[in-house]
Structure 1
Amino acid sequence: MDDRTGGGTPGGGTERPSAAELIADPAHLERRKAAHDAALKRIAADPKMQATRQAARASSFLGTAKSRLLPASMPFRFFGAATLFHLLFWLLLLLDPAAATGFVSGLGPPLAALHSLTLGTLAMTAIGASLQLLPVATRQPIGSTRWIVLLWWLYLPSLLLLLAGMALPQVTLLALGAVGVTLGLVVYLMLLARNLAGARGMPVVLVHGWLALAALAVLLLAALSMVGGYAGWPPVLDRGRALPLHVAYAGYGFMVMLVMGFSAILVPMFALSPPPATRLALVGAGLGAAALLLVWFALPEAASPWWWVLACVLALTGFAIHVTQMRRCLAQGMRKELGSSFVLVKLGWALIAASLAVAALQAAGHALPALGALLAWLPVTLAALLLMLGLLSVLTGILSRILPFLASMHAPAGKRGPPVPSSLTAAGPQRWHAWAHPLACALLLVATWTGQPWLMALAALAGATGALAFVAFFAHAWRRMRPPATTTAAPAA
């Protein structure tokens, strides 16, 4: 074994003393240590050198952690399902555009479409991303994948049953699907908790992960209470309390918290920028947690609407801190051109912020009748719709960066090494989706505002073409990632 120490002299010399020589000459060891410390101080004093060093660390977040990557089929099955449920969301809206235009609640295709988006696209993406990224972020081994396989086979068939029960409608299918989806999400909750409990480092990811986990438990309780109302089960929570809890804890508590936590590592990685300031990111998480707690004070019938206003303002402030940090990462990053994917991410940020602002205004309208009269033209479901479309925009934007990146890490190396992510990116479908998705979102919002079914049909058509393009984008990355099929000669008779 070579006992020579690493690192050359600051002047660039290549002569390296052995460990025995360093022990025999403590003064030389002190000089080398002083030179090393001086080099670190020069890096810290030079913003460009410091940014380069931190950007290199960010860019190697996944690249140096291959031992903690899941087999490709694990995350990609969830991502692939997410793209198909994205398409199903728009097709279900197209099935009955008149009902979708004025939808507020009740069984039918619009409710199935909503849950194809939330439980299908958003949750599938969140599950696949967190199962892959958390072991890397928290520096833990993957362990057995049997629980992930169990989660998949519990969650996917149950979700299909649930959507069928909502769309047809059939209460028996709805109840069976709800129980299966709940069991699947409980398995996911256990996997998430086990990983977070043994985590090291990444405090921003950990705090947001724990908040998302707590929100997931609450939203499951609220969801089962609402399904029980249709199935005749003893209610845990009445519908008047379960519905706002379900919307707030599913959309903001679970999904937005996961987005904020993982963006703190993914955005710097893609932009090659220094990570966001930990303390300020935790302040944003704390404001979000306070907002979720305040929701409970707003639930009783006699509660003041100002509790809702305060909760929305705190949530908006926390999210604004997050977006400000992410924009600073993008501005400081060495990679300036991030393409259409981050156009969608920025659109999503704007829609999520708008949803919280609209929710605060609508809550204030309940407290102030004069303001409520001025806001009567706002659809009741506008805040929730903005939140869902915002999350869809952010996640499809991030997915369009993650999929080629992960595929390049799993792809077999050729003569020139592993393929680069750009070679696994289907540029045409990506551009088509980047145009069709904002158009579909705009048409959907206008249709909800005006109550015109033909606009809803146009929105669904535009969204479906964009979703088909995204399916093609996923299929291209998956196909190019797979090793070429080998043929063997048939044995002689």
Structure 2
Amino acid sequence: MIGAGVPFGAEQRLLPEWIPLSFFFVSLACLPLGWILLFLQAENIASFQGGFGPVLAALHTFTIGVVLTTAFGASMQMLPVASGAAMNRPIGVILLLVLLLSGIGITLGGFAHYRPLIASWGAALLCLSALLYALMLVRLLIRSANLKLVRNHVLVGALCLLLAAALGAAMILNWAGLISFNMPNPRLVHAGLALYGFMGLIVFGFSRIMVPMLSVSDKTNDRLAIWGLLIALTSLLLWVGGFFKIAPIVALISALIHIYEMFTILKGRIRTRLGPEWTVIRFGWIMLPLSLLLVIGAQWTDNKANITELSILVAVLGWLVSFIIGILQRIVPFLLSMQIARQTGMPELPSKLAAEKLTRIIGPLHIAAVGVTGLAIIMDNSLLLQFGSLIGLVSGLSFLTFLIIAIKRKRLSLEKMKK
């Protein structure tokens, strides 16, 4: 894993170990929690039309609890490590962690218990965390000459994050009766900016560093990526402008360009053997265009209910969470290995820190969970949805166990090296 894509002296650009691990631990704790909430609300999923309640809390457990937390933690640590960029001060990242986790807990509690005022406070904290994250991200990108390949993706993504956070907060304040907010289809705009704007572009940009680094490949195509970004930006502008039927078609073109580049990178890799975690990463790449096809179907048909729910499930659990599950199985042992190198001068093999038996089941179980829950939504079958949620719960708990085992193995390895 410590290959050609990692700059010399990367271990010197590490945050204190507990900071990125805190982001990842919360993310991986929210993963089984989200499946539990989905299990408990299985009968209410089909009738959900928006608004406060446990279903909204379940959805945002995955989006802000898993995806947003991972994006914040991974980018604050991995961008400096992988690129040689000057890192942000630890105190700033700690403040980001506090704001984010406080905002997530309060917002989800307000959603689940129908407390708009409480959710409003949580939304305010999330907006502050989004602003701080964007400022720190811009600082990191400006001070690095090696991040030009992803700079534009990340900057546009950060802008989408701020817009999505502001729009989400406005809807919550409107529901709480604190402001009067009138906008056509605010939930659609918020979802598009959050899922495909911020999270999508961060994944696009981050993939152009992480996938070549972890597979040891130099087959990125800058011109293709620029075209993909321009097309993605066009689709986002169309979506915000209310052209909901055209925007996802344009976005699909951008998604296909991104996936083509990712498979080209893997095809040109030096590393011959890829681990089982790449199965779920590839699955996520397939789910991205499928989610957009479902969005297109939802916008071009009159019977939108099931298709809309299915598109959200495929986008969040099929694409984004799958990518996170796969990539974190590589990032966590890598970072722990670098922490060992910082203290001893000699990194441990990441494969010795990872529980390989768990890596063989985490991805397949997650893929099965997405498939079963997707089928349950198509069939409108709450029992099948609960069954799929249980499969996802096992996968989520296995991944959390993977993190705990990796930390324990790191400590044992460090003790042996110091003797």
Category of TM-score, reference length = shorter chain: over 0.9
The amino acid across from 2:32 in the alignment is L
Residues 1:241 and 2:185 aligned together:
yes
Give the structure 2 partner of residue 445 of structure 1. 374
Give the structure 2 partner of residue 478 of structure 1. 407
The amino acid across from 1:163 in the alignment is L
Shift in Å, 1:416: 11
The structure-2 alpha-carbon separation of the partners of 1:283 and 1:137, relative to structure 1 and needing over 3 Å to count, comes to farther
Q: Is the CA contact (8 Å cut-off) linking 1:265 and 1:275 kept in structure 2?
A: no
Moved more, 229-238 or 272-281: 229-238
Distance (Å, rounded) in 1 between the aligned partners of 2:347 and 2:133: 32
The structure-2 alpha-carbon separation of the partners of 1:252 and 1:331, relative to structure 1 and needing over 3 Å to count, comes to same
TM-score computed with the length of structure 1 as normaliser? 0.79
Distance (Å, rounded) in 1 between the aligned partners of 2:17 and 2:9: 16
Shift in Å, 1:197: 2.9
Q: Is the CA contact (8 Å cut-off) linking 1:218 and 1:245 kept in structure 2?
A: no
Give the structure 2 partner of residue 339 of structure 1. 275
Q: Is the CA contact (8 Å cut-off) linking 1:264 and 1:275 kept in structure 2?
A: no
Give the structure 1 partner of residue 299 of structure 2. 363
1:79-478 matches, within 5 Å, as 79-136=24-81, 139-238=84-183, 240-298=184-242, 307-365=243-301, 372=302, 378-389=306-317, 390-411=319-340, 417-478=346-407
Distance (Å, rounded) in 2 between the aligned partners of 1:416 and 1:154: 34
Structure 2 spans left out of the alignment, 5+ residues: none
Distance (Å, rounded) in 2 between the aligned partners of 1:414 and 1:80: 22
SS at match of 1:339: coil
Structure 1 spans left out of the alignment, 5+ residues: 1-54, 299-306, 366-371, 487-493
Per-residue CA distance 1:70-98 (angstroms, 9 max, x = gap): 22222111011110011110011122221
* Higher Cα radius of gyration: 1
The amino acid across from 2:308 in the alignment is V
The amino acid across from 1:272 in the alignment is V
Give the structure 2 partner of residue 8 of structure 1. none
Distance (Å, rounded) in 2 between the aligned partners of 1:284 and 1:113: 32
Q: Is the CA contact (8 Å cut-off) linking 1:440 and 1:462 kept in structure 2?
A: yes
Moved more, 78-87 or 411-420: 411-420
Shift in Å, 1:485: 9.3
The structure-2 alpha-carbon separation of the partners of 1:276 and 1:235, relative to structure 1 and needing over 3 Å to count, comes to farther
Q: Is the CA contact (8 Å cut-off) linking 1:203 and 1:278 kept in structure 2?
A: no
Shift in Å, 1:381: 2.2
The structure-2 alpha-carbon separation of the partners of 1:361 and 1:415, relative to structure 1 and needing over 3 Å to count, comes to closer
Per-residue CA distance 1:410-464 (angstroms, 9 max, x = gap): 1268999431010011112222212210111011111111111111111111111
Q: Is the CA contact (8 Å cut-off) linking 1:433 and 1:470 kept in structure 2?
A: yes
Shift in Å, 1:137: 5.1
Q: Is the CA contact (8 Å cut-off) linking 2:53 and 2:112 kept in structure 1?
A: yes
Distance (Å, rounded) in 2 between the aligned partners of 1:148 and 1:414: 22
SS at match of 1:411: helix
Structure with bigger RCO (C-alpha 8 Å, 6+ apart): 2
Distance (Å, rounded) in 2 between the aligned partners of 1:178 and 1:376: 28
Distance (Å, rounded) in 1 between the aligned partners of 2:249 and 2:137: 29
Q: Is the CA contact (8 Å cut-off) linking 2:215 and 2:271 kept in structure 1?
A: yes
Q: Is the CA contact (8 Å cut-off) linking 1:100 and 1:456 kept in structure 2?
A: no
Q: Is the CA contact (8 Å cut-off) linking 1:101 and 1:456 kept in structure 2?
A: no
The amino acid across from 1:381 in the alignment is E
The amino acid across from 2:374 in the alignment is L
Distance (Å, rounded) in 2 between the aligned partners of 1:110 and 1:67: 43
Distance (Å, rounded) in 2 between the aligned partners of 1:297 and 1:175: 26
Shift in Å, 1:248: 0.4
RMSD: 2.3
The percent identity for this pair of structures is: 30
Distance (Å, rounded) in 2 between the aligned partners of 1:191 and 1:96: 37
Distance (Å, rounded) in 2 between the aligned partners of 1:110 and 1:465: 20
The amino acid across from 2:312 in the alignment is A
Q: Is the CA contact (8 Å cut-off) linking 1:162 and 1:175 kept in structure 2?
A: yes
Shift in Å, 1:138: 5.3
The structure-2 alpha-carbon separation of the partners of 1:483 and 1:315, relative to structure 1 and needing over 3 Å to count, comes to same
The amino acid across from 1:216 in the alignment is L
Distance (Å, rounded) in 2 between the aligned partners of 1:107 and 1:275: 46
Q: Is the CA contact (8 Å cut-off) linking 1:137 and 1:202 kept in structure 2?
A: no
Shift in Å, 1:216: 0.7
Per-residue CA distance 1:375-430 (angstroms, 9 max, x = gap): 66853322222111111101111111111111111126899943101001111222
The amino acid across from 2:386 in the alignment is A
Distance (Å, rounded) in 1 between the aligned partners of 2:298 and 2:180: 28
Q: Is the CA contact (8 Å cut-off) linking 1:348 and 1:391 kept in structure 2?
A: yes
SS at match of 2:219: coil
Distance (Å, rounded) in 1 between the aligned partners of 2:409 and 2:70: 21
Distance (Å, rounded) in 1 between the aligned partners of 2:108 and 2:118: 9
